Structure 1
Amino acid sequence: MSDRLDELERRIDGLRAGVRTAMRAKDTATARTLRAELRAAERAWDALVTGDLPGAAPDESPDGSPDGPPGARAAGASVGGAPRGGALVTVREQVHQALTLLAAPAQPRLVAAVSEALLGGTLRGSRLTSLRRDEERSFASSPYGRPYYLCAALTDRLSPARGLLTVSTWPLERRVVGPLSPRVDFLTCAMAVARQLGADPLAALDPRALRLLARMARNIPGAAADADTADLGPPDPARVAEAAARELAVHAGRDTRDRAELAGRATSQLDDRSRLFGATTLITVARDAVVGDTVTTSGPAGDTATRGRR
């Protein structure tokens, strides 16, 4: 599978370069052909990553044209500027849309829930487990060959945070997590969901969106009108956003300072790839450096230690 992914990624990178060249030369016919091939390659990459069965893509018409019949894309109504109807976009794009709406590092389960409830997506959290590794391989083979990468949040050890997805185009201060960051990010996500529901009447009527907001409101003091009857009706999005903002104001100053310090360390200590996907941890180094009966580990400053195998 890895070899096939690498082959597809090289083809995708080559097709993108070809499209740019054709557009600069104003060769619209060639550009159109290459764009169709690019879409097909990206669909094949997505199907390979997620394990989907091969077949006609949802945005492909019976005659093979990439845009489908007139009005095909209208099936995905717009929600907050993002297309509703996740079947029209790849898994990677659905994740990017959900993270953009949340504007904070998030677990795959929350990303999938937001995509389904607010963006009409079809994501499942289990399908995202290998996505970050695939993104890292793509970056290694062609650095900055894509407009964005789905990457890891960085811990206070500058290693990848387990199960936290971010977007490479975010400022580094938003992609690192300090001691208060999990709570700050949860409140930020709750505010984003509440405001989306408040701004979109259609989403506010969707039971999935209301269930998502209700689950988040239960963990925010003052978000429900009455704690004893909080489960009897959907929470008010405006009240949830206000309660989340109140608590966020308490933690934001300290969290901002912690994240600025971590971002400064990451900038000075890590290369481009590690700033996106995290530094190798000591555990990983130890596992990969087993030689004979000894294990050699390398510390952050380059010092080494050797111990016998137990």
Structure 2
Amino acid sequence: MDEALDAIEREMDRLRTEIRSAAEASDGERVTELRAQLRAAQNGWDALLPGASIPTAAPALRRSMKSAREQVLETLTLIGAPATQKTIRSVHHAFFGTTLATSSLVTLRRDEERSFRSRSSPRTHVCPALAADTLRPVRSMLASSDWPLPQRLLASGSSRVNYLAMAVNLAEAAERAAGEVHADADAIHDLLQGLALNIPGLNSGKPVTPARIRTAAQRELAHLLPADQEMRDRAARAASQLGSAERLFGASVPQNTR
């Protein structure tokens, strides 16, 4: 018993060290993952503690009856900007309370392109974000075909703009989700706290609330968005000669956007 407790305590110490390092590096996604691991380790420690009552087993992670495509699209709609598969999984679990398996995303983009080209159904597709300078797909960055092309493009400053836009949208969603049975309040809190690490103005010692995250992100976004939007719009105009499939899934050869 003592050896098991000691092992868990060492693991918890390691996780706390890694969380601190990730926080100092402003790696919000890593902080969120490590906090989840720390909570699991704490639960294990509690269960082994002599004299402690045996806690009720946590329910298994639920899986949605929706397809992977539908789950990704509903999550992208919530985020409001192109996002990595890792981010999509984290956001979906927090706000929708179900697990989006990594394996289900492996072939999704290829399957979506095949479906679009076959014209089997006029539906919304999961597609890749495209690089603004080449109009080629960006690895592991997903978007919705319902979005206008500029929203699906990534220019030199788009990564930061999209991060801030996501922070604004998720902060607003967190306020709406308060009390909803399918939302994981702890996971949402950790997700927002991780996002807040990389937003200026949120280190004043005051509680980091969704409202403060939204305000701080909007403040920075107001300065960065105009230039980024101009670059995306210019690239989108240059893509007018591409076919509909290429505008969604990327050009087969690099395009000159100047």
Q: Are 2:123 and 1:150 aligned?
A: no
Paired residue secondary structure (2:140): strand
Match of 2:202 in 1: 223
State the match for 2:252 in structure 1. Answer: 280
1:201 corresponds to which letter in structure 2?
A
**Pick from 101, 116, 119: which aligns with 1:124?**
101
Query: Are the equivalent residues in 2 in contact too, given 1:86–1:94 (CA < 8 A)?
Result: no
Residue-by-residue CA offset, 1:91-149 (whole Å, 9 max, x unaligned): 11110100011111110111111110011231134531221111011112226x23211
Instruction: Please identify the structure whose Cα radius of gyration is greater.
Output: 1
Aligned to 1:99: 76
Q: How far apart are the structure 1 equivalents of 2:88 and 2:105? A: 9
User: How far apart, CA to CA, are the structure 2 residues paired with 1:126 and 1:281?
Assistant: 29
Counterpart of 1:236, as a letter, is T
Structure 1 stretches of 4+ with a deviation exceeding 3 A read 124-127
Report the Cα distance in structure 2 between the residues aligned to 1:111 and 1:260, rounded to whole angstroms: 25
Q: Is the counterpart of residue 259 in structure 1 residue 238 in structure 2? A: no
Given the superposition, is the C-alpha separation of residues 252 and 92 from structure 1 closer, same or farther in structure 2, using an over 3 Å criterion?
Answer: same
Unmatched segments (≥5 aa) in structure 2: 1-61
Q: Counterpart of 1:246 in 2: which secondary structure?
A: helix
Is the CA contact 1:94–1:123 (under 8 Å) kept in the aligned structure 2? yes
Q: 1:281 & 1:235 partners in 2: Cα distance?
A: 45
Which ranges in structure 1 are unaligned for 5 or more consecutive residues? 1-84, 283-299, 302-310
Q: Is the 8 A contact 2:95 2:177 kept in 1?
A: no
Residues 183-222 of structure 1 aligned to structure 2 (within 5 Å) = 183-202=160-179, 206-222=185-201
Distance 1:125 1:221 in 2: 32
* Displacement of 1:173: 1.1
The corresponding residue for 1:294 is none
Aligned with 1:87: secondary structure? coil
- Look up the SS of the partner of 1:165 in the other structure: strand
Deviations 1:161-198 (A, max 9, x none): 11111111111110111111010001001111111112
- Contact kept, 8 Å, 1:159 with 1:279, in 2: the verdict is yes
Supply the AA of the counterpart residue of 1:252.
L
On the 8 A contact 1:224/1:239 being kept in 2, the answer is no
What TM-score does the superposition give when structure 2 sets the normalisation length? 0.69
Cα distance, 1:199 vs. partner? Answer: 2.2
Label 1:111 to 1:205 Cα distance change in 2 as closer, same or farther (>3 A): closer
What is the aligned-residue RMSD (CA, Å)?
2.0
Map 1:8-157 to 2 at 5 A: 87-142=64-119, 145-155=121-131, 156-157=133-134
| TM-score using structure 1 length | 0.58
1:197 to 1:278, Cα distance in 2 relative to 1, 3 A: same
The 3 A distance-change label for structure 1 pair 215 and 281 is farther
Give the 3-state SS of the residue equivalent to 1:241 in structure 2: helix
State how far apart, in whole Å, the 1-side matches of 2:175 and 2:184 are: 11
Q: Is the 8 A contact 2:94 2:184 kept in 1?
A: no
Tell me the number of residue pairs that the alignment of Structure 1 and Structure 2 aligns.
192
CA distance in 1, matches of 2:67, 2:184: 26
- Does the 8 Å CA contact 2:174/2:210 hold for their aligned counterparts? yes
* Shift of residue 209, structure 1, vs aligned partner: 0.8
Aligned partner of 2:149: which letter?
Answer: L
